[in-house]
Chain A
Amino acid sequence: MIRYILRRLAWALPTMLIVTFLVYVALRIGTNPVESYKRSNPRVTPEKIQQYIDINGLNPNYVLGYFRWLNNFLTGNWPRSIKGSREVWPALKDAMANTLRLGIAATVVGVFFGLIFGLLASLRPGGRRDIAINTGAFVGISIPPYISAILLQLLFAVYWQRWFGSSLFPTSGVYPAGHTGFDLFLMLKFMALPTIVVAIQIIATYSRYLRASLLDVLNSDYMRTARSKGISERRVLIHHGMRNALIPIVTVAAIDFGSIVGGLIISENIFSYPGMGLYFLKSFGDGDFPLLMPWMVIIVASILIFNLVADLSYAWLDPRIRRE
């Protein structure tokens, strides 16, 4: 098992190199900071331009430029951002913390309610409750987050203020302007709307996953064996039904969470929530590869890691595919 994990991690390295190289080249082709530098400083001397190129590592040879960047990245000597010459790590760290907070909250809420609805729907397939939950899930999946986000902002901020004098939840940011320090209550208030928007999608998806998976399991012979033992229906459902139905769902959840770390681009943008998604939009718009490359590394790493987690959890949950 340890050897398997090591082998998987070893494979992650070339993947990482290839992906970062491709992204580097794409960014360099797509944007030209030297041009915009020249445009904003029309009377700049060639020496100054060369200096600008050297400082920012804008080597015209992409391969050399990539390995220069890689060397700096690995030795911890990260280049500063092109725009504003800021340090990268503090910004990236904050963005990651914000996204993880939002991602974990939305995943916990979403998977929890998704599983409850999925369970309720599958108990009597075709019944009124099943139809209601299915319809709800269908609506939830069909409404894109930018619509549900705006509707929620209207309801809880704009109309709430009109009706009750003050808004219930703020519509953007993580803290009010000028706030410093940590305040859990305030933080949760600011997180509420983005969490709901993301959670709606997760609830809708997972209720359908679980319903499908559980219906499969409920019709299997071992459920009848379990019932023939005369154990309680609750035990039959949880111990035999859910235990089997959750195996594929845990796997999907791990993979899904891996991609959430990359940021919830649409939701974060609408709520001006300074997470990985917003970080990406800003640095991508500026063609700022010193900012963008470490972001990319984190995304790729998290996807690779959570895929490994998914495979390991599958083996852990299902004895049939366990191996040495």
Chain B
Amino acid sequence: MAEKILQIRNLRVTFDTPFGQVFAVRGVDLDVEESELLGVVGESGSGKSVTFLAAIGLLSSRARVTGSVVLQGEELIGKSPQQMRSVRGRLMSMIFQDPLSALNPVHRVGKQIVEMLQSHQNLTSKQAATRAVELLDLVGIPQPEQRSSQYPHEFSGGMRQRVVIAIAIANNPKLLIADEPTTALDVTVQAQILEVIKRVQQQIGTAVVLITHDLGVIARVADRVDVMYAGRNIEQGSIESLYDHPSHPYTRGLLASIPQPGKDRLTPIRGFPPNMMAPPSGCAFRTRCEFAEPTCEVDIPELRIFNDLQTACLRAQELPNFRVRQ
């Protein structure tokens, strides 16, 4: 089995707001293996972004984080901001959703890459500038020399996202977190960006966590999938197993809700995601689950291995076989 780069155990994130506490992440267990591409899916508010913002230490001071995040054998929770700074950008880096606003408008693109390089490596300005051009080339930006002295507004959205990727991988991080990197882009560009991420993952051997709500994106590039719901991960496994025979009713609902050609009606999951200020007791999905029974109100299901997947459902073994209704 491949070595584990990142191990998250019982991670909990709570935000104190004027209206009360928001339990955004409620005990996430997750491993990322070396140079794999892990997809993390879930709907808005499921805690997928918050989980990884907590891991990289970019949450505001209003967030309370407990549990354990181990990166290459090093515990990150409880590190001082200074210590986290030396991890961020060097061992672990992040790509954000909106490339149009992710780059500083007043600095040249090359300079923004150089800043990343020089903050973690001892490079002369000239070496760093050369490396920046190489990185732009690696992420598929044509004429990288000229482009590196241009400003972000001179780039299209897709090109800017490539620049953001170039910044993120500048120091050959062990782990790259991509938080909805294609959501703000149009479909043809989405495919190109996914290709770039996949290529980067293979060329520099970094592990990638791809956070998205788009099952199509996951299917295209991920090796393994982690499904999150209401601040917990409820199912994990290889892409093949999860798409072929999902066990958790929520995962089944997600797959069933993908629009099918030739089918008039969508098959949505009924109900709404829970209010994270007062999540339901027991299994958070039980309020929307057609298989729920009284025990689901009591016990919070843990991830258990079933059918070569890890599933957090008390009734996983009793459920009928999954079949996408045609």
Contact = CB atoms under 8 A, between A and B. Distances in A.
Contact of A227 (B58, B86, B103): B58
A137 B26 CA distance: 43
Interface in A81-124: none
A18 interface: no
B96 A225 contact: yes
Given A319-B106, A320-B151, A222 B87 contact: no
Best-surrounded residue of A221, A225, A230 (most CB of chain B within 10 A): A230
Nearest to B81: A233
A275 to B, nearest CB: 37
Contact of A228 (B81, B93, B98, B151): B93
Best-surrounded residue of A220, A226, A239, A240 (most CB of chain B within 10 A): A226
Contact of A224 (B58, B84, B89, B93): B58
B105 A230 contact: no
Contacts of B89: 228-231
B119 A319 contact: no
B105 A221 contact: no
Given A229-B119, A230-B85, A230-B119, A222 B102 contact: yes
Interface string B39-62: 000000000000000001010000
Interface string B101-136: 111111100000001100110000000000000000
Contact of B56 (A225, A228, A243): A228
Interface residues of A, number: 22
Interface in B211-261: none
Interface in B81-100: 81, 84-90, 93-94, 96, 98
Contacts of A244: 104-106
Contact of A225 (B86, B104, B119): B104
Contacts of A319: 105-106, 151, 153
Contact of B105 (A226, A232, A233, A320): A320
B315 to A, nearest CB: 41
A305 B247 CA distance: 72
B173 to A, nearest CB: 10
B164 A225 contact: yes
Contacts of B56: 228
Given A230-B88, A319-B153, A222 B115 contact: no
17 contacts: A224-B102, A225-B103, A227-B88, A228-B56, A228-B58, A228-B93, A228-B96, A229-B93, A229-B115, A230-B89, A231-B89, A240-B104, A240-B107, A244-B105, A244-B106, A319-B105, A319-B153
Closest 7 CB pairs of A and B: A230-B89, A230-B88, A221-B101, A319-B151, A222-B104, A229-B89, A230-B85
Given A228-B93, A243-B106, A318-B106, 8 more contacts: A222-B103, A222-B105, A225-B104, A227-B58, A227-B88, A230-B84, A244-B105, A320-B151
